[in-house]
Structure 1
């Protein structure tokens, strides 16, 4: 039994899968190193612009904590990235910077 054709077919399938997955990679560099995020997508498509900062800052303290961020699915997903100074809350400036990301 010749396994070579099967091995080549399997290798081809794996190579195509890796190429498809690479199209969904986001790479970020920081002082701590390199972060690669692979996403298969959520099937969620946002409609319209991001909510105003004041809508999410429900307690009016001038920042969005993680429980407030849960009110906007995209921010909840990116919360740790949006909190660029890693103080556990997203300031207005951090939120505006995050909203402006492509």
Structure 2
């Protein structure tokens, strides 16, 4: 690959990454920021990241069977989990015996 094509490829990758990092830094201004600097062929590269001080869905992980059990059978089916709830994306993981329902014991192991 010629030097010019290599430089163009680096720019095509770097510009979206830099733009993403700029927007991400605005979104997480309240969080603990961390940085690490690396030396690349094109010069120094600084990567900045953060982790939220609190999880936006932390309350999802404190859920009880009674909070979601709409039909009163003492267990949670996939249909009873609201869209966007942490349990919706982790249902298969929590349902240890893969019967399609989450029991109190399975939920306790998830917390």
> What is the TM-score with the length of structure 1 in the denominator?
0.51
Runs (5+) with no aligned partner, structure 1? 17-43
The residue that corresponds to 1:94 in the other structure is 106
Alpha carbons of structure 1 residues 86 and 8: separation in structure 2 relative to 1, 3 Å: same
Per-residue deviation, residues 41-99 of structure 1 (Å, max 9, x unmatched): xxx8125462222121222212100111227711112111111111111111111111x
Alpha carbons of structure 1 residues 92 and 71: separation in structure 2 relative to 1, 3 Å: farther
The size of the alignment, in residue pairs, is: 72
Aligned mates of 2:87, 2:108 — CA distance in 1? 11
Larger Rg: 2
The residue that corresponds to 1:6 in the other structure is 8
> What is the TM-score with the length of structure 2 in the denominator?
0.48
Taking only aligned residues, the RMSD between alpha carbons, in angstroms, comes to 3.4
